[in-house]
Chain A
Amino acid sequence: MATPLVEMKDMCIAFGGVHAVDHVTVDLYPGEVVGLLGHNGAGKSTLIKLLSGAYKADSGEIRINGDEVHIHSPRDARVQNIETIYQTLALADNLDAASNLFLGRELTSPLGFVDDDRMEAETRKIMGRLNPNFKKFNAPVKALSGGQRQSVAIARAVYFNAKILIMDEPTAALGVHETQMVAELIQELKKQGLGIFLISHDIHDVFQLCDRLAVMKNGQLVGSAKTTDVTDDDVLGMIILGKCPPGATPGPGALVDDTVVG
């Protein structure tokens, strides 16, 4: 555990005077799941978009395996084996599972034409591993259930050997059974040594799936802690009041007065 897989130091981005992310520092180790928590608009999705290349940071430093990298576009992020599973799923509804899985990285025949049959064969292979019940290979993903769509998005990350996985509310649109499926998948990916950032509103999800958590409020980091060192109420206090409990490491966004009380 010497060098973290990902280090984001002093990340800042502002949109028209609003500091959406204000000097936030987080890190992630291989085989670890770090939960990012906070209210709507706390800046957790924005922070993660700096890593996935959807936004460009105003200042700050991103290190992957200790080396500084510059991520200006989703393409740069993919080069670093960073894959993102978005809240909105980011699938093209009108295309089938294989086209979505390979979108932007299509397999082509020697003549340069898109090889749909080979892509479908690869998709069948990986879906057989991840979600054996998946059968609708020729239907547009619009026709799939939330869980099936989520498994297409996850398959995309797994197929391209992601080292760093970002999951933005991966279970928000899912039923109980499907949520369980995603949870098992996260455990499986952890064993393979991936680092996962998990954004969630659901504290129970976070305690069940994550090793550590980081809480943001108004664009600043309230604090971070091992999930074993804090309780549900501690975390709620961090999210709602910005109060950092004794078991957590306070960040720049923590309420200074209250930390003394504990």
Chain B
Amino acid sequence: MSDTALPGSKNPAARNLFAALQLDTRLLGMIGAFIVLCLVFNVFTDGRFLTPRNIFNLTIQTVSVAIMATGMVFVIVTRHIDLSVGSLLATVAAIMAVVQTDILPPILGLGHPAIWIIAIIAGIAAGVLIGAFQGWMIGYLSIPAFIVTLGGLLVWRNVAWFITSGQTIGPLDDTFTMIGGIGGTMGETASWIFGFLAVAATLWLQIASRRRKASHGFPVKPVWAEVTMGVVTTVAILGFVAILNAYDIPTARLKRIFAASGETLPEGLTMGYGIPYSVLLLIIITVVMTVVARRTRLGRYIFATGGNPDAAELSGINTRFLTVKVFALMGGLAALAGAVAAARLGFSTNDIGTLDELRVIAAAVIGGTALAGGIGTIYGAILGALIMQSLQSGMAMVGVDAPLQNMVVGTVLVLAVLVDIIYRKRTGD
């Protein structure tokens, strides 16, 4: 996971540079591939790919799959698979839609401020319960995860159909739809504040970690390497905020917003969208899941079980209950992803989340999660989801035919795994 050697490097200076930075070369490779991909699409779309508007759209299109991909990392790391996430998303989205349009309004009144949160809580509860049930069948009844979730793929897709009688449910609650993407953004000022807080937090973590290592007498990176890392993360975070802020809200829409509060739009005023709430949600989930993976016993046991299930069992880890926890977590994340997906559409449709299981698994695998278990990172899965989405929408923008798009995406998935295998063989990792 944390490899410091640069494979195949002929240049000793570069080797020292990267070794000093102690970067994950695998991650660097992925970021490099992603940047190349973006630049190529940018050329072929005459500069339309790397505009604030398209980057904004890319991020909100990625959120739903990326949220689930973080959970899929844990599932695959423990040597399981979950084929049911797309269908589970549909069931949970249907439950949330019915709760907020059919059940709650007669009780609380239409547009009551508590509706959205009750709907989401109901959805998460349903997702966690369904996930835990599937995990129980896998862990305690020893039915292979492939079979349980293949059954789940059919069952939950049609439970969703059953709940809604096949109808599209909506329009959804106004507050609820704000977590969908463009309908709910933080605005420029709040986005900058968030950006600076994030920079302060990452720098503080970096310094704290260095001090802790030094206090135990461990070797630490040279100061210049730490400073470089700090500058790179700062630029990346603030650059991301700046890009999202640079996408201006269209004047017609601004006029409507001002008209709604009884004011007129001052001449020449422009406002950027800033960070969408859905992206904020994804950032929070990423941080939480990374902390779980690296700093909690649960995460440690997930990776230990994936690396050697017998050793984990002999060390007193309850691997059966661990399976239940992992699948329950996956269910909860599918519920959040379902909330984002339904909110983005404004409706809960019958085919919501179709084929998402494949996108989610592909994102995790492209992001470096090994199907043999024991290896995987949360940030890798997010990057994997971003690469998949960029590929898909980039080709659509270039005007590649739909069948060709899917052929390319499928090929890229297989090639990415091949490159990963070759990389691991070379580094012996």
Contact = CB atoms under 8 A, between A and B. Distances in A.
Interface of A: 52, 54, 73-75, 78, 84, 86, 88-95, 99-100, 103-106, 108, 112-114, 116-118, 120-121, 138, 140, 143
A93 B300 contact: no
Contacts of A73: 316
Interface in B190-239: 212-213, 216-218
A-B complex: 5 closest residue pairs judged by Cβ atoms: A94-B307, A92-B307, A104-B315, A94-B374, A90-B311
Contacts of B218: 117, 120-121
Interface of B: 1-2, 212-213, 216-218, 291, 294-297, 299-300, 303-308, 310-317, 374-375, 428-429
A90 B304 contact: no
Contacts of B315: 74, 90, 103-104
Contacts of A118: 216
A103 B14 CA distance: 36
A86 B313 CA distance: 13
A89 B217 CA distance: 30
B304 A117 contact: no
A62 B237 CA distance: 61
Given A95-B307, A140-B1, A120 B374 contact: no
Given A93-B374, A114-B297, 6 more contacts: A52-B314, A94-B1, A103-B317, A104-B315, A108-B297, A114-B299
B374 A143 contact: no
A86 B306 CA distance: 19
A114 B310 contact: no
A90 B314 CA distance: 7
A99 B374 contact: no
Most buried by A among B303, B304, B313: B304
B306 A114 contact: no
B316 A93 contact: no
Contacts of B307: 92-95
B314 A74 contact: yes
A92 B311 contact: yes
Contacts of A106: 297, 300
B304 A92 contact: yes
B287 to A, nearest CB: 13
Given A117-B212, A117-B213, A120-B218, A103 B1 contact: no
Contact of B310 (A90, A112, A143): A90
B308 A91 contact: yes
A121 B291 CA distance: 21
Contacts of A108: 297
Contacts of A117: 212-213, 216, 218
B316 A90 contact: no
A100 to B, nearest CB: 8
B221 to A, nearest CB: 13
26 contacts: A54-B314, A74-B316, A84-B314, A90-B310, A91-B308, A91-B311, A92-B308, A93-B307, A93-B308, A94-B303, A94-B307, A95-B300, A95-B303, A95-B304, A103-B300, A104-B315, A105-B316, A113-B291, A113-B296, A114-B297, A114-B300, A117-B212, A117-B213, A117-B216, A140-B1, A140-B429
